[in-house]
Homo-oligomer: A and B are copies of this chain.
Amino acid sequence: MSLNQVDRQILALLQKDASLSTAEIADKVGLSQSPCWRRIARLEQEGYITNKVAILDAKLLGFDMLVYAHVRLSSHGRDQLAQFEKLIMSYDEVTECYSMAGTMDFMLRIISKGIEGYELFVRDKLLCLEYVQEVHSNVTMTCVKRSTALPL
């Protein structure tokens, strides 16, 4: 159920580099392979580790535009809330979406190729929805830091 220090160490290692072998992790946390493997399997099974992914180089692949957009829905749009969220999930350009505290707003992280790509997205996939009242775009310039790791 709960986690001890070794479990946290394992998680900390894996969230930085999932290509580490069980033997390497076992070595770093001071365990032998078998018990280390069992712990990792347990951490996966209990849901602490949700999945493993490859991180790609966005710039190298031509995605030079990263925008955080605030989307305000009209008040009667609450009815279509579920539909809006479902739609958002189907948009690959939207890599993240959160509803914000205190407002009827959503914040979207949108990745695209150039301003043209971003404008196309906003026009064809956001503004075309009747219940979208306002879209405010926060364009990022340089990425100082980007990590998927939690502060364990």
A residues adjacent to B (C-beta < 8 A): 3, 11, 14-19, 47-58, 60-61, 63, 66, 68, 85, 88-89, 92-102, 106-107, 111-112, 138-152
Residues from chain B with a CB closer than 8 A to the CB of A61 are: 3, 11, 48, 150, 152
Copies of this chain in its oligomeric complex: 2
Of B47, B53, B97, B106, the residue contacting A57 (CB under 8 A) is: B47
A150 & B54 in contact (Cβ 8 Å cutoff) = no
The reply to whether B149 and A95 form a contact with Cβ atoms under 8 Å apart is yes
A66 to B100 CA separation, bound complex (whole angstroms): 10
Contact between A88 and B144, CB atoms less than 8 A apart = yes
Residue contact B148 to A97, C-beta cutoff 8 Å: no
A31, B142: Cα distance in complex, Å: 38
Partner of A145, one of B96, B102, B139: B96
Q: Which of B51, B68, B101, B150 contacts A139 (CB 8 A)?
A: B101
B148-A95 in contact (CB<8A): yes
- Do A54 and B14 touch (CB < 8 A)? yes
